[in-house]
Structure 1
Amino acid sequence: MSEIPSTDEALANLSMPLLDAMMTQRAIRRVKPDPVDDAIVVKCIELALRAPTGSNGQNWEFIVVKDQRVKDQLGKRYRQPWSIYGALGRRQAANDASMLKILKAVEWQVEHFSEIPVLVIPCLRGGTRVPYVPTPFVGETSYFGSIYPSVQNLLLAARAMGLGASLITMPLWNVTSARKILGLPLSVTPICVVPLGWPRGRYGPTTRKPVQEVVHLDQYGNRGLTP
């Protein structure tokens, strides 16, 4: 089990080479209940804000949750959809040891959600929907595309400092309920949740498909691009 660094040590670890962080940034769902210094959380968000947004709108807000009551309420919302999706996932992955391992980690996170020291909830101001008018697809992609680059920056910063982190959305499945729990106005939409805590395990190399299996040249299906 990894040791918890001091705040100064964690901040100094931001000197980690970018390639190292990218190659070892796996989802860490099992984390310790030990507190995370506010300075470390603020640094994660400060680096998240360096990401691009559509038209440089910077229409983001970040809710940092440490209050036990709020964590308990979000944990309850997490358990509700997981009771369905978890069962379906285990059934579909019955013969897939790798996926079962992931599901087991998610289940741990669901069961221990209230013990996670910090939750960061990236949100967006404004929106793309006009009542009774269909939203163009490009409007949807532009809207959500204005927050996820910052989320990736946050995850990389957490990785460099040795924090366990993952990207989840299930606690927000009922956005009306999530807004009420977080005290959000209708003009602010919660997009995802990033639980933060000192890892019980370790970061390590991620396993991904070979690039040749997912790259297409000019049109889908043309595998003409080679390294």
Structure 2
Amino acid sequence: MSEKTYTIVAFIRHMECLEAIFTRVSIRRFKKDPIDDEIIIRLLEAGNAAPSAGNLQARDFIVVKDEETKLKLAVASLRQSFVAEAPVVIVVCANYPRSMQVYGERGKLYAEQDATAAVENILLAAHCMGLGAVWVGAFNEERVAEILNIPSYARPMAIIPVGYPAERPSPRRRMKIEEITHWERW
């Protein structure tokens, strides 16, 4: 491949990537259509492709399809009913020991960063695959851990309802970059 061809291909990929980032929106209404397991696996692979401290991948994924369990998660999510209405719910957890074995106490922070980086990748992958999803961070951690039998050394970081979108919300307003950017110092 010539350098010029490579540059054109890189430009197209760049545009596709940025388009995905700038057009992704949170989806809270879903069609009832089921999602194939192969698609779910691909979403999880995208999540695990996110950066992680020391490449330790200190995150775990719990896939929930069971209607009763999704309903319990919706109640634990401050009664956000759309959690139960999604065909699939993915709970992303920080796995502390996996990171702490190398980084000690600071590994807790790295595990949380690993998990949340995975969440963003899952959201973008879902959007690129024609799915809708939303990052739910408002939930009762203890109750979610109990519902899903999450071990005490792991922490649920996000609940991601996923499905085919039944809505098309407009992108939300963002602050001007000049308002939130500092050069060299705060």
TM-score by length of 1: 0.67
Name 1:224's counterpart in structure 2. Answer: none
Q: Letter of the aligned partner of 2:85 in structure 1?
A: E
- Using CA pairs under 8 Å that are at least 6 residues apart, name the structure with larger relative contact order, 1 or 2: 1
State the distance in 2 between where 1:139 and 1:79 align: 29
- What is the distance in 1 between the residues matched to 2:53 and 2:119? 15
Unaligned runs of 5+ in 2: 1-14, 99-103
The answer as to 2:150 corresponding to 1:184 is yes
**Separation (CA, whole Å) in 2 of partners of 1:204 and 1:41:** 26
Question: Which residue identity is paired with 1:178?
Answer: V
Instruction: From the superposition, tell whether residues 164 and 52 of structure 1 become closer, same or farther in structure 2 (CA, over 3 Å).
Output: same
The answer as to whether partners of 1:24 and 1:203 remain within 8 angstroms in 2 is no
Q: Percent identity?
A: 32
- Aligned partners of 1:167 and 1:192 also within 8 Å: yes
| 1:203, distance to aligned residue in structure 2 (A) | 6.1
Match of 1:121 in 2: 91
Q: Which amino acid aligns with 1:211?
A: I
Task: State the number of aligned residues.
Answer: 168
Distance in 1, matches of 2:33 and 2:27, equals 15
How many angstroms apart in 1 are the aligned matches of 2:94 and 2:81? 28
User: 2:112, 2:153 → 1: CA distance?
Assistant: 15
2:185 aligns with 219
| Alpha-carbon shift at residue 192 of structure 1 (Å) | 0.7
The equivalent of 1:21 in structure 2 is 20
Q: Secondary structure at the match of 1:120?
A: strand
Query: Hey, what's the Cα distance between the residues in 1 that align with 2:177 and 2:152?
Result: 41
Does the 8 Å CA contact 2:91/2:158 hold for their aligned counterparts? yes
Q: Indicate the residue corresponding to 1:70 in structure 2.
A: 69
What pairs with 1:50-65 in structure 2 (closer than 5 Å)?
Answer: 50-65=49-64
8 Å contact kept, 2:92–2:158: yes
> Secondary structure at 2:114's aligned position in 1?
coil
The alignment status of 1:200 with 2:166, answered yes or no, reads yes
Q: Tell me how large the CA RMSD over aligned residues is.
A: 2.4
